């Protein structure tokens, strides 16, 4: 049991650093896109700096954290009695579905990262601000599922996540209007 708690602690630490990396990389995407609209030489200076920052964040923090969080999760699920029992519970299936979505989100961020490193700008900074909320929604969903666990509560939690997502979208539209007025 004591080893399990160490593994669970390491899993949680790497989940936190993974999300921190995902939140910040998309913020760097916003900065890179906006820097690309600046005049020379400011544009080149900023883009070079953001590329260095993004590279370090992505390969030194975010990818290793994703892999280590997953490694410790597999360890808990497949090599402990507690985790193995969780695999048969409906809330865990839903959680693993959200983890799958998180990996899809991560891989899309990797694709965007590669594009920006090659000076290919396909998205607007407003799109990236909205894209950044994807990880937030997944984080809320997973935390509620893990804490509430029973079927009725996690269903309310998922409905709450949908409502939370709608509030985020409305907040984004409001923020966009404020930015456009300035």
**Interior/surface letters 135-147, b for 16+ CB within 10 angstroms, e for the rest:** bbbbbbbbebbee
The helix (H) or strand (E) run that includes residue 138 is: helix 125-148
Give the C-alpha separation, 79 to 73, whole Å. 10
- Judge contact between 61 and 21, C-beta under 8 A: yes
**106 labelled binding-site residue:** no
**95 labelled binding-site residue:** yes
Residues annotated in the binding site for heme, as ranges? 11, 95
Residues annotated in the binding site, as ranges? 11, 95
């Amino acid at each position: 049991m004591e080893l399990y708690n160490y593994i669970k602690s390491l899993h949680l630490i790497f989940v936190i650093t993974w999300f921190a990396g995902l939140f910040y990389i998309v913020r760097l995407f916003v900065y890179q896109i906006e820097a690309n609209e600046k005049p020379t030489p400011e544009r080149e200076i900023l883009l070079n700096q953001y590329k260095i920052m993004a590279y370090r964040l992505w390969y030194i923090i975010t990818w290793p954290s994703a892999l280590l969080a997953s490694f410790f999760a597999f360890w808990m699920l497949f090599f402990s009695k507690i985790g193995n029992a969780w695999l048969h519970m409906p809330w865990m299936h839903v959680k693993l579905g959200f983890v799958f979505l998180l990996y899809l989100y991560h891989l899309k961020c990797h694709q965007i990262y590669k594009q920006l490193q090659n000076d290919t700008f396909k998205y607007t900074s407003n799109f990236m601000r909205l894209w950044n909320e994807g990880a937030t929604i997944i984080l809320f969903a997973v935390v509620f599922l893990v804490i509430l666990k029973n079927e009725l509560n996690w269903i309310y939690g998922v409905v709450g996540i949908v409502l939370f997502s709608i509030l985020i979208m409305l907040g984004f539209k409001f923020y966009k209007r404020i930015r456009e007025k300035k």
